[in-house]
Structure formats: structure tokens, C-alpha cells
Amino acid sequence: MERPVREAEVSVFSHATEDEEKVKHAVKALLGLEPEFTEARLEGHYNDPIILLTAKLDRKEATDSLTRIYTRLSSLDKRALLDSLVNRVDEGGSLYIRLDKQRAYNGRAVLAENDPIRIKFRLQLPHRAEPVSYVREVLVGMEDGEN
């Protein structure tokens, strides 16, 4: 399949102590494109302002972004991602990845759990394909330059 990712949803919090434009820059540097952000103003635990930034990516943008992210991960992060696919892929074939916001600012892709950039990639599953196996195949194919 030429473009295995149907779409993607990106979300990230911009906390009161952060520059919103720098958070947007981190997402842009990570994805290699300029998504159109939607903003939601929220309140934190101590009534501090938080902005939730979200963006949707179309098929081409989503596939290109997943390829860019996966190929930029360190070999250790690639192995960790592949080893944890059973916890990152749902029955519909969506892949959930969390990436370090600070390192993304410089275009680096690093898996992270604390205050991450969250991305949900919705893959187009072939009929009767097992989701985890298919996502693994797609990712390994990206490393080999097949996608």
C-alpha cells in the first residue's frame, strides 16, 4: 500500500510556563510540516492556564510524518516501539505514539511519556489483517524505504 496511514491526530499541551509558539514550532519540526492548529483554553490543577493544541493530518501528511518520525528514532527507541506495539495499537489499526516535546523543538524524535506530543496514526488495515502485525510490517517497511 502506497500510503498506509489514513489520517493522524496530533495533540500537545502548552502550559503557562511555556511559549505557545515554541510548542507549535516543536510539533512542526517533528512532523516536517505546518499543521493548522485548533486551540482549546483549559485550566490546570492550580487554575493555571493551559492551551490544548490539536491538528489533523490528511493521508499524505500523516504517512509522511510517521515515516519521518520512525526513521528519526534511535535504534533503541525503534526497538522499544516495536516491542510495545501490543500496547500502542488498537483493534482498528490506530497507532498511538508519545514523543518528547523538548527534543522535538530541534526536530529530534524521542519516545517519551511525560508532557509529550501525542499522535494517533490511523492506518488503513487490509481485510482480515491482524492490527499489531500489520503496523509492525508498515514500520519495518518504512525503515527499508518501502513506504
Average pLDDT, the chain: 94
Whether the per-residue pLDDT at 10 is higher than 80: the answer is yes
Mean pLDDT over 24-48 rounds to 94
**Maximum separation of any 2 CA atoms in the chain, in Å:** 48
Q: What is the pLDDT at residue 2?
A: 76
Taken in order of first residue, the domains within the chain and their CATH numbers are 5-143 (3.30.1440.10)
How far, in Å, CA of 63 to CA of 47, rounded?
Answer: 38
For the segment 83-100, what is each residue's pLDDT rounded down to a tens digit? 999 999 999 999 999 999
Which residue type occupies 83? D
Distance CA 98, CA 88 (A): 10
pLDDT score of 114 more than 70: yes
Write the pLDDT tens digit of every residue in 100-110: 999 999 999 99
- pLDDT score of 3: 87
- Indicate whether 116 pLDDT > 60: yes
pLDDT of residue 145: 65
Q: CB burial class (10 A; 0-12, 13-18, 19+) of residue 28?
A: middle
